[in-house]
Amino acid sequence: MTNSAQNPLLQKFANKDEAVPFDLIKTEHFMPALHVAIDEAKANFSQIKKNQEATFENTILALEQVSEKVDTISGVYFNLFSAEASEAHQALAQEISPLLSNFSSDISLDGEIFQKIKFVFDHRKDLKLSGEELSLTEKMFKDFSRNGALLSETDKQKLRQIDQDLSVLSPKFSENVLKATNAFELWIDRKEDLAGLPDGAIEAAAISAEQKGQKGKWLITLNAPSLIPFLTYASNRTLREKLWKANASKCFGGLFDNQEIILKIVKLKYDRAQLLGYKNYADYVLQERMAEKPETVFNFLNKILTPSKMAAEKDLAEVRGFKKQIDGEDEIKPWDFAYYSEKLKEQKYSFNAEELRPYFKLENVIEGVFEHAKRLYGLTFQPVSGYPTYHPDVKTFEVTDQDGYVGLFYMDFFPRETKKGGAWMTSFREQGLWGSVVKRPHVSIVCNFTKPTDTKPSLLDYNEVTTLFHEFGHALHGLLSKCKYKSLAGTNVYWDFVELPSQIMENWAKEKEGLDLFAKHFETNDLLPAELISKIKKAENFQSGFTSLRQVSFGLLDMNWYTTDPNSITSVEAFEEKATANTRVMPKEPNTTQSCSFSHIFAGGYGAGYYSYKWAEVLDADAFEYFKEQGLFNSQVATQFKNSILSRGGTDHPMKLYVEFRGREPDANSLLRRDGLI
């Protein structure tokens, strides 16, 4: 243990723009720092309670800033928990999470402080509050009301215990998924078992094996850059089956079983919602979403389900027919679909997705997203050294525009055993008021992309390219924020609105005008041929029914978990099978579940909110139609999008912001049109 004077988390960060001193921080610094920071925050909190008369400044603003040090330290801890966590760092979550939960409850359940908030809220007209001051006051009143401030003392204690329990279970779920992912290894010692795999995937598997001391063999893992090429291209059906089943049964039984954790989480969230006066957890969550209530979400998903399922059944029938042509029989199992689907796409469009990879060198794609940001929003990304990072793979950039410094940007792209799977954007410092100064943000995107090999740089597949554009869209939402208060800034918006900035960015990676900015052959520097771009466009809606149905299935599974009385659920597998029955076009494989590794809804913030991806697709399809009408890089439309959406955070209702940008509400059929489903 270190004393406060030696703990880097308790000193003013001395790096340029007060960036996090990752080079100085050790796991053992977090608990002592948090204890000190929480004590300071409690002292600040006591001071707020002593004020005789409540005003916006001494109550609402003071509460906004009451725990800045706690927020910074916990933010660093949990960002590293996802991106670079040793076993000791992971284990610490079981101490840190309850500590933070208890501190949060101390504030949100304090009746005396709530009366002060209520006084300001009730007198908001007399106090002439407007703009962000009014938005912050209304948000804080609603947050306290929704999180137990009106409960009896007995019920407050029940709520506190529920939140404590949840604070331990969610990190444990995430930890199990990471450990189960790392634990599976498919070892291959015969080269013929690699038949069909692209050379880059074979080379990557050889490097993975060599790193484990097995030179001359090949290692396939459950990390996406290893898993997806094998399921898509490997002709060995037995090994595809083994790999698919390992991924589909992850954390379902065995050492890292998440079944009991799921049942506990849904029960606790249900009890929490009921305690607060809501029918179920979805009912509670959706009060603060554009959709507003579960019925709206179910109606929305079911509206998309019907055309998606019809299209998916046609997709499957086409793949079966194709398989019969070449194999003499048409049985398609889940581990066959990607393989035969890719072969069918090659036949229909003379197009193999691997043809694209040489044109998507990671460094070129990065330059491409930067160039998009420059043309659309006038941003410049300058690579800089001197900022500490938490891993050598992390790159840092200073972001500027015509008015000066915009923010600090981190990029972290390759898989490792200390990093969870998937891709995400996060912040190390929110934009907004810190103390008496409005500060610019420190934003990061974290992905798990194909690594460079001994003979080739990192060459991305097309899905990885669109993932990078997606996460970069989130980053722009954080970087371009121009709000006064950090809890309203950047991505602090309704969760069924937060995916609009990310999903709209993917569209530019599908257009020739966008691709021409960065899609260059890594050896010859030739642009991606127009013929290949045309094939991408023609193949864009290939199997779109199947893809759409998959997302609808996830959304319905999530909504069912959080609208069903958990006392009636005894089996994770049986519940999931029933919840997704109408979305299935292939029989369910026994001993497999999506739920047991569904981190979005059990360890992330998407519980009762996974539908947000499809919801925001409607917004992004409608918004991008506007760009296409006016020009992909039309400065007027881009400025409208920046000023009405990207810079405004949660300072107003999302629909109001969208109408301000578009001039009308979104056309609900824009997504179905884009996907070729109507």
Domain check: are 38 and 120 in the same one?
Answer: yes
610 torsion bin: left (phi>0), alpha (psi -120 to 50), beta (else): alpha
Question: Is residue 603 domain-resident?
Answer: no
The pLDDT score that the predictor gives to residue 116 is: 98
Closest CA to 415 of 595, 219, 170: 219
Within 10 A of 663 (CB to CB), how many other CB atoms are there? Answer: 9
233 and 114 both lie in a single domain: no
Whether 252 contacts 591, CB under 8 Å: yes
- Which residue type sits at 20? V
Give yes or no for residue 118 having a pLDDT over 70. yes
Least Cα distance to 609 among 475, 494, 500, 504 occurs for: 494
Average pLDDT over residues 169-191: 97
Q: What is the pLDDT of residues 190-214, one digit of tens each?
A: 999 999 999 999 999 999 999 999 9
Task: Report angle CA 165, 168, 171 to the nearest 5 degrees.
Answer: 145
With respect to residue 673, please indicate whether it lies within any of the assigned structural domains: no
Tally of structural domains, the chain: 3
Same domain membership, residue 426 and residue 368: yes
pLDDT of residue 408 exceeding 80, the answer is yes
Q: Is residue 464 part of a domain?
A: yes
562 domain-assigned: no
Distance in angstroms (rounded) separating the CA atoms of residues 458 and 451 = 5
443 vs 435: CA distance, rounded Å = 20
Task: State whether 45 and 101 are in the same domain.
Answer: yes
* Cα–Cα nearest to 439, from 477, 474, 485, 373: 485
438 with 535, same domain: the answer is: yes
331-389 pLDDT, tens digit per residue, is 999 999 999 999 999 999 988 889 999 999 999 999 999 999 999 999 999 999 999 99
Strand partners, 433: 438
The β-bridge relationship of strands 380-383 and 395-401 is: antiparallel
d(CA 103, CA 668): 43
Tokens of 45: 């909190």
CATH number of the domain that residue 365 is part of: 1.10.1370.40
> Is 258 inside any structural domain?
no
pLDDT greater than 70 at residue 650: yes
Residues linked to residue 411 through DSSP beta bridges, in sequence order:
395, 445
Question: In this model, does residue 22 exceed pLDDT 50?
Answer: yes
Q: How far apart are CA 125 and CA 128, in angstroms?
A: 5
Please answer whether residues 155 and 293 qualify as being in contact, where contact means their C-beta atoms are separated by less than 8 angstroms: no
User: In the listed set 225, 248, 271, which residue is the last one of a domain according to the structure?
Assistant: 248
Residues 227, 83, single domain; the answer is: no
Q: With respect to residue 435, please indicate whether it lies within any of the assigned structural domains.
A: yes
pLDDT reading at 1 higher than 60: no
Residue 637 domain flag: no
**How many angstroms separate the CA atoms of 73 and 75, rounded?**
5
Confidence of residue 2 (pLDDT cuts 50, 70, 90): low
Closest-CA residue to 547 (of 668, 459, 425, 671): 671
CB-based burial, 321-347: b 16+ in 10 Å, e otherwise: ebbeeeeeeeebebbbbbbbbbbbbee
User: 222 and 130 in one domain?
Assistant: no
Same domain for 194 and 145, yes or no, is no
Q: What is the per-residue pLDDT across 583-624, written as a single tens digit (0 to 9) for each? A: 999 999 999 999 999 999 999 989 999 999 999 999 999 999
Distance CA 549, CA 497 (A): 21
471 is catalytic: yes
Q: What is the mean pLDDT of residues 95-121?
A: 97
Q: Taking CA 659 as the corner, what is the angle to CA 643 and CA 466, rounded to the nearest 5 degrees?
A: 65
DSSP codes, 546-567: HHHHHHHHHHHHHHHHTTS-GG
- CATH number, position 138: 1.20.1050.40
383 & 514 share domain: yes
Per-residue pLDDT, 145: 95
- In this prediction, residue 499 carries a pLDDT of 96
Phi–psi pair at 48, nearest 5 degrees = -60, -40
User: Are 369 and 419 in the same domain?
Assistant: yes
Calculate the average pLDDT of the chain: 96
Do 64 and 206 have their domain in common? no
Candidates 430, 464, 471, 499; catalytic one: 471
Q: Which amino acid is at 292?
A: E
Domain range for 244? 184-248
**Whole-prediction pTM:** 0.94
Contacts of 229 (CB under 8 A, 6+ apart): 197, 198, 201, 461
Tell me how crowded residue 581 is: count the other CB atoms within 10 A of its CB.
Answer: 11
Confidence of residue 182 (pLDDT cuts 50, 70, 90): very high
Which residues have CB under 8 Å from 9's CB, separation 6+?
A: 25, 29, 30, 33, 37, 72, 73, 76
State which of 248, 266, 299 marks the end of a domain: 248
Tell me if 512 is assigned to some domain: yes
DSSP reduced 3-state for 380: strand
| Domain stop point among 515, 540, 565 | 540
Percent of the chain with pLDDT over 70: 100
- For residue 282, give Cα distances in angstroms to 267, 268, 352, 562: 13, 13, 42, 5
- Residue 538, pLDDT > 90, answer no
139: exposed, middle or buried (C-beta count within 10 Å: 0-12, 13-18, 19+)? buried
Annotate 406-426 with b (16+ C-beta within 10 A) or e (fewer).
Answer: bbbbbbbbbbeebbbbebebb
Same domain for 203 and 73, yes or no, is: no
